[in-house]
Amino acid sequence: MTYLEWLKQASSTLKESESPKRDAEILLGFVTNKSRTFLMAFSETELTQSQLDSLNTCLKRRQTGEPIAYITGVKEFWSLKFQVSPSTLIPRPDTEKLVEIALEYLPKVPCEVLDLGTGTGAITIAMATERQDCLFTAIEKNEQALILAQGNAKYNGVNNAYFLQGNWYKPIKGRKFSMIVSNPPYIDSTDIHLSQGDVRFEPRSALVADDEGLADIKVIVAGATKHLNQYGWLLIEHGWKQGEAVRTIFKQNGFQLVETHIDYSGNDRVTVGRWFKP
């Protein structure tokens, strides 16, 4: 069977997917270790039996709904490659909006940034590649995820970030930062989307929070008042319906210049606030 024949067959098999053709191309490139350009240019190339066996295994996994990123073990974010595993969330384009906004608000001079619940390390690593003059501290409570994040930093050549294991602010008692960023769990446990799509396979602990998805956000905002420098910024990613509630939490904790930014789909996604203590 040729590359082209397999792609046609696989695309038909994955017709329930949101992007069957692209899924098939990614799986074929993963198994053959060839670029998309190569696959198209040499579409008449015959697959070996070993490759066909591997492709069939991947195809069956994808048919069950397992995310492509977990099958290949890799996901692109901010034009960087990240290793992923079922112990972490899969980096999403919406979180690139958080990185984009954080870089806009980051002081132009060298400073320190804290990333809470770093997962794959995507936010820290993306920012660290853009601001090599700054020092980044990333905290993650899951040991497997922490090891993965450290590996991703090394793979992407980041040496201005280090990673600590712990729950939210516990590992950095007494330290203060010019900016705190976080993409915490913010989905309510009753949300029907938890039984749909990729999230079915992602760790619930990284997705779900009590208090209608706001519990961890409340902890982060309250703790930020003790760990931000004067005029420091806090940026939190949240659900598309949570903008108003998150702005209220920021203001109740004394933050100023509170504003919610929309993501690339036009939905509320990132709320920012500046810490000022008279």
| Ligand-binding site membership of 157 (annotated) | no
* Nearest CA-CA partner of 237 in 210, 191, 206, 211: 206
* Nearest CA-CA partner of 131 in 115, 148, 150, 151: 115
| CA dist., res. 165 & res. 151, Å (int) | 14
| Ligand-binding site membership of 174 (annotated) | no
SS3 at position 203:
coil
Strands 80-83 and 74-77: antiparallel
| Ligand-binding site membership of 184 (annotated) | yes
| Ligand-binding site membership of 185 (annotated) | yes
| Ligand-binding site membership of 119 (annotated) | yes
Cα dihedral 23→25→31→32 (10° resolution) = 180
| Ligand-binding site membership of 168 (annotated) | yes
Residue 180: exposed, middle, or buried by beta-carbon count in 10 A (0-12, 13-18, 19+)?
A: buried
| CA dist., res. 210 & res. 203, Å (int) | 15
The residue behind tokens 């799986």 is 27
| Ligand-binding site membership of 121 (annotated) | yes
Binding site listing for S-adenosyl-L-methionine: 117-121, 140, 168, 183
Binding site listing for substrate: 183-186
Binding site listing: 117-121, 140, 168, 183-186
